[in-house]
Amino acid sequence: MGDSASEVPEPPWFAKPGALNVPTVMAVNEQGQNIELPYIHYALIDNEPMLLGTTGKNGEVYGDYLRAFPMPRLPLKTHVNDEVLEDLYTDYPFNWTLKLAIYHLGDAGVIADVHQYRSSYLKLKYMRQENARISHILEYLQKEQEQHNTKLRAFVEEVKGIQE
């Protein structure tokens, strides 16, 4: 893992707190043992929320996808319908109360999941548009192929007529 593991990396790196809702990044040392990396950093890499970890300043950086931990069931009924999630992708960046509530949960994995959920809606919308565009291209190509096949049949019939 290197000899600089005792040096604290500069911000935005921070020491991993001992709280249960903070995820960990694991790495394999020279002896083949899994170790928990003491310094972490949240980042967006290729528009994917990632949790990066390192042993110290100038140490190797390891990463893992950032996900929310499952929430234990509350002993009381909340009257919240977990199936209605449209607000998370239709009005999320402009809904300040929702944004504040998600932030106050204190779990960066939840923020990452909301980001991925919202991105998935945009990806789906793009893929549907792309599918419609490809369908139009295929429809045009099929018409062209039918015209070509008609000309080909006419040519083959003409050649048969010449042979006879």
Write down the pLDDT at residue 113. Answer: 80
Write down the pLDDT at residue 5. Answer: 52
CA distances from 141 to 30, 99, 129, 138, 154 (A): 58, 47, 18, 5, 20
Element (H, E) at 54: strand 48-54
Same domain membership, residue 53 and residue 1: yes
Write down the pLDDT at residue 151. Answer: 94
Average pLDDT along the chain, 164 residues, taken 10 residues at a time? 64 80 81 88 84 87 78 63 62 64 73 78 87 94 94 92 87
Write down the pLDDT at residue 138. Answer: 94
Coil, strand, or helix at residue 37?
A: coil
Decide if 71 is inside a domain.
Answer: no
User: Pick from 66, 85, 105: which residue ends a domain?
Assistant: 66
Dump the DSSP string for 74-137: PSS-----TT--HHHHHSGGG-HHHHHHHHHT--HHHHHHHHHHHHHHHHHHHHHHHHHHHHHH
Write down the pLDDT at residue 16. Answer: 84
Q: Tell me if 25 sits within 8 A of 51, measured CB to CB.
A: yes
What is the number of domains present in the chain?
2
Write down the pLDDT at residue 1. Answer: 45
Same domain membership, residue 84 and residue 18: no
Q: What residue has token string 């239709």? A: 90
Same domain membership, residue 156 and residue 131: yes
Cα of 139 vs its chain's centroid, Å: 32
Decide if 140 is inside a domain.
Answer: yes
